[in-house]
Amino acid sequence: MDKTALPTCNFAALPDWNDVRYAVMVARVGTIAEAARYLQMDQTTVSRRLRALETALGTPLFERCKGRLTPTPAGLAVLEHGQRIEAEIMALCHWARIVVLDIMFGL
């Protein structure tokens, strides 16, 4: 297989994980205000980062209607991937705790 035909990934252009995390929370709770409360962040920050993610991905992730946000098809895809990333990060943290406990206490 010709390696020049393989797609490349510009890691500098990847969305910030926190922006994806904010989008996942907005999808879960339905409003930016509620997501900000759960994330213990300012509502304007969550809103700004959500817009930045939409801009970076080049598509709206939510339909906005009367203060509620409903994921678009692209938003559902981000939610699905974001939840998997979140689960992997949680698994990594769990593994790291086990390793630290094993090193510290020989468990």
Separation in Å, CA 40 to CA 36, 45, 74, 89, 96? 6, 11, 26, 19, 25
Q: Which of 20-24, 37-41, 48-52, 91-95 has the lowest mean pLDDT?
A: 91-95
59 versus 1: which is more confidently predicted? 59
Collapsing DSSP to helix, strand or coil, 70 comes out as: strand
Residue 24 gets the label, from left (phi > 0), alpha (psi -120 to 50) or beta, of alpha
107 versus 90: which is more confidently predicted? 90
**Statement: the pTM of the whole predicted model exceeds 0.95:** no
Helices 73-105, 17-29: inter-axial angle, 10-degree rounding = 110
Compute the average pLDDT of residues 58-70: 93
Which residues partner with 64 through β-bridges?
A: 69
pLDDT at 61 > cutoff 60: yes
pLDDT band at residue 31 under the 50/70/90 scheme: very high
Q: Cβ distance 26 to 62 under 8 Å?
A: yes
33 versus 13: which is more confidently predicted? 33
Q: Cβ distance 79 to 27 under 8 Å?
A: yes
